[in-house]
Chain A
Amino acid sequence: MIGLGLDTAADTSHPTLFGGLPAETQNYSVYLDGTNDTLRSGSMAVSWLKVVAANEPFSIHFSIKLDALNSTISFSGNSSNYLWLSVNSGGDLQFSFARTSPTRNGSETWDTNFSTGTWYDIVITGTNDTSRDLKCYVNKVEQTANAAAAWPASEDNKATPGKFTVGTFLNVAFYNFRIDRLFSWTSVLTSAEITEIYDNYPDLTADSGNYVSSDDLETYYKIEEGSGTALSDSSGNSNNDLNAINPTANFWSSDTRI
């Protein structure tokens, strides 16, 4: 495979950090061109969505800028046993799973009304109640949920088989978008914490301001490498790299939310 360059066509202006808080750098996102490129790791159990585990609370965070609606963000598993994060043709975010033996499923859709060409900062939280209470925040604002099918907390989605993927649906459809900042926790972040992260993007390995869940941080893919094909986890929890498969020359993008 030939080497990677940098997409420099996008806006490179970032706000000045202030307040003396430890803050993430925000120089890069990655771009999937929607032809045959993906992010992939060996298994769900050691990558971003591993926190969706049996009887455990969770929070997941990501930033995304879509080129098109009706897109799968992440699909892991097979046709009958999967965990699926997607945006439907109306721009609404959907999170769902299915499993056989015995047959079970769960899903939630939120009225996010996403548009193309706009960065969104997204947090999904799930309690460990018998039927999970799932919430979604977009740009720190809680979204209205609809079309839910109860999601049993006892379901161990962490054990979804096969590789963990971003940007493809079963390798038969691929989607183009920029994605950044894949984080997850083994607890339900509060609205105040989500606001802290959105406004001040602190270093998530230490409590800062209203953010008090650093001990629960499980994955921390900052996506700031700027070159190469491996996206590493900075949580200290020995999670797999996310590997870029078939990236294009503009895989590394200077277009970020902030």
Chain B
Amino acid sequence: MATKYVIIDASEVSSVDFSQVREDSADTLRYNLDNSKTFVKFDGSTPSFLDGKAEYTHSEIRTILTDEAQGWYIADAQAYLDSL
């Protein structure tokens, strides 16, 4: 059963039922670089709190997460370190 991934707004984290997703808690969520979005992953039926939202496969979410233009990714980690 393939894992599905759904991007949500940071403001929606309070609505996440962590018993229905792979993440343990809000503390382990990954946010985009401006902290406006995060995502959760799940197997099987879509949890009701995610109804109507776009679902991505692993390949699709990796494409998003490794595209610097979409604000999730740092291609040059050393340059990022040097910029801090």
How long is the Cα–Cα vector from A13 to B74 in the complex, in angstroms? 37
B43–A35 CB distance below 8 A: no
Nearest chain-A residue to B2 (Cβ)? A249
A245 and B1 form a contact (CB under 8 A): no
In the complex, are the beta carbons of B61 and A246 less than 8 A apart? Answer: no
How far, in Å, is A175 (CB) from chain B's closest CB? 10
Give the distance in Å from the alpha carbon of A245 to the alpha carbon of B26 in the complex: 12
Contact B3 A246 (CB under 8 A): no
Mask: chain A, 1-31; 1 = CB below 8 Å from B; 0 = not: 1100000000000000000000000000000
Contacts of A37 in B (CB 8 A): 22
By beta carbon, the residue of chain B nearest A82 is B81
A106 CB, nearest partner CB in chain B, Å: 14
Check B81–A35 contact: CB distance below 8 A. Answer: no
Query: B30 is contacted by which of A36, A82, A86 (Cβ under 8 Å)?
Result: A36
Whether the pair B30, A169 counts as a contact (CB closer than 8 A) is no
List residues of chain B with CB within 8 A of the CB of A202: none
| B1-23 with Cβ < 8 A to chain A | 1, 3, 5, 18-23
CB neighbours of B65 from chain A (8 A):
34-35, 174
For A255, the chain B residues whose CB sits under 8 A away are none
Residues of A within 8 A of B75 (CB): 70
Those of A166-186 within 8 Å (CB) of chain B: 169-174, 176
Q: How far is the CA of A182 from the CA of B19 in the complex (A)?
A: 31
Write the chain B residue with the least CB distance to A75. Answer: B77
A239: Cβ under 8 A from any B Cβ: no
**Inter-chain contact A35/B77, CB cutoff 8 Å:** no
B62 at the interface (CB under 8 A from A): yes
Looking at the complex, which one of A98, A169, A245 makes contact with B77 (CB distance below 8 Å)?
A169
- Cα(A79)–Cα(B61), bound, Å: 27
Beyond A34-B62, A86-B77, is A2–B42 a contact (Cβ under 8 Å)? yes
Contact B23 A36 (CB under 8 A): yes
Q: Which residue of A lies closest to B18 (CB)?
A: A1
- Enumerate 10 A-B pairs (CB-CB under 8 Å) in ascending A order: A2-B19, A33-B58, A35-B65, A37-B22, A172-B33, A173-B74, A246-B24, A248-B58, A249-B3, A249-B43
Which residues of A pack against B, CB within 8 Å?
A: 1-2, 33-37, 70, 72, 79-80, 82, 86, 98, 169-174, 176, 245-250
List chain B positions with a Cβ less than 8 A from chain A.
Answer: 1, 3, 5, 18-24, 28-30, 33, 39, 41-43, 58, 61-62, 65, 73-75, 77, 80-81, 84
Q: Which 7 A-B pairs have the closest CB atoms?
A: A36-B30, A79-B84, A1-B24, A169-B77, A173-B74, A248-B3, A246-B23
Given A173-B77, A246-B22: 10 more A-B contacts, CB < 8 Å: A2-B19, A2-B20, A35-B41, A35-B62, A36-B41, A169-B80, A173-B74, A246-B24, A246-B28, A249-B3
